Amino acid sequence: MLVSEKSRNQTNQKEIGRGDLMDLWFSEFHTPSVKLAIKVSKQLYSGKSDFQQIDVFESPEFGRFLTLDGYMMLTQKDEFIYHEMMVHVPMCVHPDARKALVIGAGDGGVVRELVRYDSIEHIDVVEIDEEVVEVAKKYLPFTACGFDDPRVKFHFEDGLKYVRHHEDEYDLILVDSTDPFGPGEGLFTKEFYGNCYTALKEDGIMVNQNESPFYANDARAMQRAHKRIHANFPICRVYQAHIPTYPSGHWLFGFASKKYHPVRDMHAADWKSLGIETKYYNTNLHRGAFALPNYVQKLLEAMEELPGNDTTTTLNGGAKHASADEKKNGGKS
Amino acid sequence: MNSDFRKNQDRAPIAEALEAYSSERVVPFDVPGHKHGRGNPELTAFLGERTMTLDVNSMKPLDNLCHPVSVIKEAEELAAEAFGAKAAFFMVGGTTSAVQAMVFTVAARGDKIIVPRNVHRSVINAMVLCGAVPVYVDPGAHEELGIALGMQLSDIEAAIRDNPDAKAIFVNNPTYYGICSDLRGIVKLAHANGMQVVVDEAHGTHLSFSDRLPVSAMEAGADMASVSMHKSGGSLTQSAFLLVGSAKSSEGSGSDAKSTVTPDENRAPSIDPAYVRQIINLTQTTSGSYLFLSSLDLSRKRLALHGKELFDKVIDMAEYAREEINSIGGYYAIGSELVNGKEIYDFDKTKLVIHTLPVGLAGIEVYDLLRDEYDIQMEFGDFGNCLAYLSVGDRIRDVERLVGALSEIRRLFGKDPIISLPNNYIAPVVVLSPQEAFYADAEHIPFEKTVGRIAAESIMCYPPGIPVLAPGEKITEEVLEYLRYAQEKGCQITGAEDESLHTLKVVREKSGY
């Protein structure tokens, strides 16, 4: 029998096999017919908040990992890739980012990377589920370590609601959402991206978790997110990273801005002079991350050509970058 | 609510009987022919095996909707108890069928019923079928919002004075927009004059389950009410309850607010549920769907046991949404502040009506933008407003999406405020009953030449959604003037066969008319 998309939810299963040793595995369906399984040595936490099921496991290969509603959020071994790529890319582009808004991100990884910049003066963290933060503080100190920084302020509420009440305020908005279903679904909507546009200053940048291009369901979510951001921002680019525990391992981020181009406007030398030590990110990789495979480019371009999207540019298309800033539709007011 | 009530309401006799039936693995040599879905694999895959197994016909253990004696009877008794009614009937032909049954019960051919002018089409259609004659009361309209309101007691009093032979008063309560009339006052007035009160409570299922909401028809002492369980009550589309009130003749109508007045006298004949059953059986299917019946049964159980908490949540959500929408600027989400004790006697706080003209957009434009640009489906959009239907199935995060989208629509599409359209009430002159006009010979004649003729079609004008003409009504110079004016101002005029209004359809003249 086919398992529907929704039933991916029910995959937080423990398979007990035969043998002398305990054979405990966490598995997650990446499609109805593909699953990733990680050997678990111990379950450290299991609880249900008002919003979702929260679990923390210990594993031999990936160290500790956090799942929400049975979906992999981060592992100790590969979280650096996601968090570095979400933070350092925009920080290398924006010369003077002082005030940042982080939405989602209850695990703390994004904040940990952000507080490494002395230029950042204030970080608002909007997380709908306070229990995720509590669990992270207790079980995931490797990501939650930035939460104690005095520049960080928590707001436990719906990100969509929070951002609606702010205008022309932020240099940087980082949308570290879960998936476009469940409590995070509001963070994939056109109204949310539009509200983010309004909350950003005129040279502000928004970076979002943009799903994956590989499996059909994820690709659709990726396309929808891109279509909606593209309809709101004059500059809208997508970049990639390799995250082993996410479906297909091939993951995308969205870079949207009113003014800065992610590659042409990067300040590589300045960034290097900060001396921030990274495990994944570097400025060469920054440039390369925006060069996408043809099939991904095609999926994204299809969303830009839809009626209603004023497209005078194509995405990540080398020479065509020049026309990016001429696009006007994000500036409607 | 006493503990016995809760204990009984914990049961769902029809659903339980279906459960028992499906576990017995009975060999079906009866209809429906799909035989638990085996005969139609594609449909079974589409709807699910469980659904098909429950789609069965009347049989001994499952009772019969036309003449209930066992589980349906029990379920109807539980429903009556839950709604505070003398009797309840399970309806499977939509609330329309319940409304029709109410009209058929209180009026025969030639009998008058006092109705608000903005009455639902199903009521006029019922009159076409049974030959009853409407006596219209002006529901009033809100100047700015452009919506029809509720009937005022003084207007009903006048209608009763002019039509002492009327059999009943028909009330829409609450309206689509959540506007409520003084139901207790209407019941008292009607009963004192020997008239019955029937209430279209299609948009008010929840009223019976919360003390934070306007009075329900049964609580107010109405004789009958049609309740759309499928709207706010959670049952399947097309299922409804028809309720018969427990008000006894020559007794108080249950109004506690009017205790200083001499005890109400109910001169209206009381309604016999056995007669109502006969009326229902005139038009209702003899193979009522058990999917509908069990959905009514289980929804009634849920509302009886948890309705208060559930609707508390809905009310809180609607109040929150109103607050947030009103803080965006421009939009006006209407609320209890409109209540004036007259044509807005009370307001149903679960209704989320958003007035959009101040942001320079028609309600229907906002409706379309929400659908096309933001994947949000609203219930309804008219000239000045759009309506979100909040119910037991909504979540606060979806409300956040609506509010977020509305603020975006204002930013991206907002224009200068639009001025509301005119809405004068024209008192109709009823010459023929809807039935006579419906079956009469008719012809199209030029608009200008229709004065003095009898309309054979209905013409509706939005805003405020009140008919200008209905079949059987005399066309006057005033009517034509209003139509010209409304057309010029850009009102949406519907119902006429010739949409340009160059001609109108009128009853062919012959001797006698």
**More confident: A214 or A146:** A214
Q: How many CB pairs under 8 A join A and B?
A: 50
Tokens 């936490």 belong to which residue? A45
Same domain, B496 and B466: yes
Residue in chain B nearest A332 by alpha carbon:
B412
Query: Per mean pLDDT, which range of B78-87, B133-142, B251-260, B269-278 is the poorest?
Result: B251-260
With a cut of 80, say whether residue A44 has pLDDT above it: yes
| Confidence tier at A20 by pLDDT (50, 70, 90) | very low
End residue of a domain, out of B413, B446, B469: B413
Same domain, B287 and B311: no
Same domain, B84 and B176: yes
Can you give the pTM of this predicted structure? 0.83
pLDDT number for residue A186: 84
For residue B208, what are the domain limits?
Answer: 3-27+66-303
Same domain, B235 and B381: no
One-letter amino acid for residue A257 of the chain: S
Closest Cα in chain B, distance from residue A63 (Å): 34
Same domain, B272 and B142: yes
- Beta carbons within 8 Å of B57's beta carbon, 6+ residues apart: B30, B31, B32, B287
> In the predicted model, what is the mean pLDDT of residues A313-332?
38
Facing residue for B404 by CB, picked from A195, A308, A332: A195
Residue in chain A nearest B324 by alpha carbon:
A161
Same domain, B8 and B137: yes
Closest Cα in chain A, distance from residue B316 (Å): 17
Chain A positions touching B49 (Cβ under 8 A) are none
Facing residue for B407 by CB, picked from A158, A195, A332: A195
The per-residue pLDDT for range A249-289, each reduced to its tens digit, is 999 999 999 999 999 999 999 999 999 999 999 999 999 99
Closest Cα in chain B, distance from residue A234 (Å): 14
Q: Of the candidates A110, A118, A147, which has an alpha carbon nearest to the alpha carbon of residue A130? A: A147
B280 and B91 in contact (C-beta within 8 Å)? yes
Helix or strand run (H / E) with residue A186:
none
Same domain, B161 and B293: yes
Quote the distance between the C-alpha of residue A296 and its chain's center: 18
End residue of a domain, out of B413, B448, B474: B413
pLDDT number for residue B383: 85
Task: Classify residue B185: in a domain, yes or no.
Answer: yes
Task: Classify residue B15: in a domain, yes or no.
Answer: yes
Same domain, B292 and B323: no
Task: Classify residue B283: in a domain, yes or no.
Answer: yes
Same domain, B248 and B167: yes
The count of structural domains within chain B is 3
Two structure tokens written together for A188: 């994939």
Query: Residue B401 is part of a domain; what is its CATH number?
Result: 3.90.1150.10
Query: Per mean pLDDT, which range of A312-321, B197-206, B263-272 is the poorest?
Result: A312-321
Question: Which strands, in side-by-side order, build the sheet including B385-389?
Answer: B332-333, B351-355, B385-389, B380-381
Q: Of the candidates B135, B140, B177, B182, which has an alpha carbon nearest to the alpha carbon of residue B159? A: B135
Phi/psi of residue B392, nearest 5 degrees: -60, -15
Q: Which residues of A touch B (CB under 8 A)?
A: 158, 160-161, 164, 183, 185-186, 189-192, 194-195, 198, 308, 332-333
Test the A interface: residue of B317, B366, B408, B410 with most A CBs within 10 Å: B408
B176 and B380 in contact (C-beta within 8 Å)? yes
Give the separation between CA A110 and CA A147, rounded to whole angstroms: 10
Task: Classify residue B450: in a domain, yes or no.
Answer: yes
ipTM of this complex prediction, to 2 decimal places: 0.74
User: Are the beta carbons of B404 and A198 separated by less than 8 Å?
Assistant: no
User: Are the beta carbons of A191 and B407 separated by less than 8 Å?
Assistant: yes
With a cut of 50, say whether residue A313 has pLDDT above it: no
**More confident: A309 or B165:** B165
User: Are the beta carbons of A198 and B324 separated by less than 8 Å?
Assistant: no
Give the separation between CA A63 and CA A81, rounded to whole angstroms: 15
Facing residue for A332 by CB, picked from B396, B397, B412: B412
The per-residue pLDDT for range B250-278, each reduced to its tens digit, is 544 444 444 444 456 788 999 999 999 99
| Confidence tier at B6 by pLDDT (50, 70, 90) | low
Same domain, B20 and B145: yes
The per-residue pLDDT for range B110-132, each reduced to its tens digit, is 999 999 998 888 898 899 999 99
Chain A positions touching B375 (Cβ under 8 A) are 189-190
Facing residue for A190 by CB, picked from B374, B397, B411: B374
| Residue spans of alpha helices (H) in B164-266 | 183-192, 229-232
Q: Of the candidates B295, B95, B130, which has an alpha carbon nearest to the alpha carbon of residue B202? A: B95
Closest Cα in chain B, distance from residue A197 (Å): 10
With a cut of 70, say whether residue A2 has pLDDT above it: no
Q: What percent of the residues of chain B are helix, what percent strand, and what percent coil, each to the nearest 5?
A: 40, 15, 45
Facing residue for A191 by CB, picked from B324, B374, B397: B374
Beta bridge partners of A205: A172, A257
The per-residue pLDDT for range B214-232, each reduced to its tens digit, is 999 999 999 999 999 999 8
Facing residue for A194 by CB, picked from B375, B397, B408: B408
Residue in chain B nearest A199 by alpha carbon:
B408
**More confident: A205 or A326:** A205
Q: pLDDT averaged over chain A?
A: 87
pLDDT number for residue B5: 64
Q: pLDDT averaged over chain B?
A: 91
Give the separation between CA B371 and CA B357, rounded to whole angstroms: 18
User: Are the beta carbons of B408 and A195 separated by less than 8 Å?
Assistant: yes
> In the predicted model, what is the mean pLDDT of residues B380-401?
90
Tokens 């006048």 belong to which residue? B158
Residue in chain B nearest A331 by alpha carbon:
B412
How many degrees, rounded to 5, is the angle at CA B198 between CA B291 and CA B274?
60
User: Are the beta carbons of A189 and B404 separated by less than 8 Å?
Assistant: yes
User: Are the beta carbons of A191 and B375 separated by less than 8 Å?
Assistant: no
The per-residue pLDDT for range B278-327, each reduced to its tens digit, is 999 999 998 899 999 999 999 999 999 999 999 999 999 999 999 999 99
Closest Cα in chain B, distance from residue A181 (Å): 12
Test the A interface: residue of B317, B368, B394, B401 with most A CBs within 10 Å: B401
Q: Is A96 tagged catalytic?
A: no
> In the predicted model, what is the mean pLDDT of residues A218-242?
94
Same domain, B347 and B237: no
User: Are the beta carbons of A191 and B405 separated by less than 8 Å?
Assistant: yes
Same domain, B164 and B73: yes
Q: Which residues of B touch A (CB under 8 A)?
A: 324, 373-375, 396-397, 400-401, 403-405, 407-408, 411-412
Given the residues A55, A124, A129, A176, the one annotated as active site: A176
pLDDT number for residue A22: 73
Closest Cα in chain A, distance from residue B376 (Å): 10
Chain B positions touching A191 (Cβ under 8 A) are 374, 401, 404-405, 407-408
pLDDT number for residue A17: 44
Residue in chain B nearest A161 by alpha carbon:
B400
Give the separation between CA B178 and CA B349, rounded to whole angstroms: 7
Query: Residue B475 is part of a domain; what is its CATH number?
Result: 3.90.100.10
pLDDT number for residue B465: 76
Tokens 């019946």 belong to which residue? B293
Closest Cα in chain B, distance from residue A217 (Å): 18
Two structure tokens written together for B477: 């110079």
Give the SS3 label for residue B491. Answer: coil
Two structure tokens written together for A326: 């001429």
Chain B positions touching A229 (Cβ under 8 A) are none
Two structure tokens written together for B230: 């499928």
The per-residue pLDDT for range A52-89, each reduced to its tens digit, is 999 999 999 999 999 999 999 999 999 999 999 999 99
Query: Per mean pLDDT, which range of A4-13, A131-140, B429-438 is the poorest?
Result: A4-13
The per-residue pLDDT for range A168-212, each reduced to its tens digit, is 999 999 999 888 777 778 888 899 999 999 999 999 999 999 999
Give the separation between CA A112 and CA A149, rounded to whole angstroms: 9
Give the separation between CA B127 and CA B104, rounded to whole angstroms: 8
Chain B positions touching A192 (Cβ under 8 A) are 404
How many degrees, rounded to 5, is the angle at CA B320 between CA B314 and CA B321?
90
| Confidence tier at A321 by pLDDT (50, 70, 90) | very low
Closest Cα in chain A, distance from residue B321 (Å): 11
Query: Residue B296 is part of a domain; what is its CATH number?
Result: 3.40.640.10
| Confidence tier at B382 by pLDDT (50, 70, 90) | confident
Quote the distance between the C-alpha of residue B97 and its chain's center: 11
Q: pLDDT > 90: what percent of chain A?
A: 77
pLDDT number for residue B264: 61
Chain A positions touching B408 (Cβ under 8 A) are 190-191, 194-195
Domains of chain A: 6-74 (2.30.140.10), 79-331 (3.40.50.150)
With a cut of 80, say whether residue A7 has pLDDT above it: no
Task: Classify residue B61: in a domain, yes or no.
Answer: no
Quote the distance between the C-alpha of residue A60 and its chain's center: 26
Task: Classify residue B314: in a domain, yes or no.
Answer: yes
User: Are the beta carbons of B400 and A195 separated by less than 8 Å?
Assistant: no
End residue of a domain, out of B275, B303, B331: B303
Task: Classify residue B421: in a domain, yes or no.
Answer: no
Facing residue for A189 by CB, picked from B324, B374, B396: B374
Task: Classify residue B90: in a domain, yes or no.
Answer: yes
pLDDT number for residue B427: 87
pLDDT number for residue B282: 95
Q: Is the dihedral of CA B120, B123, B127, B132 positive or negative?
A: negative
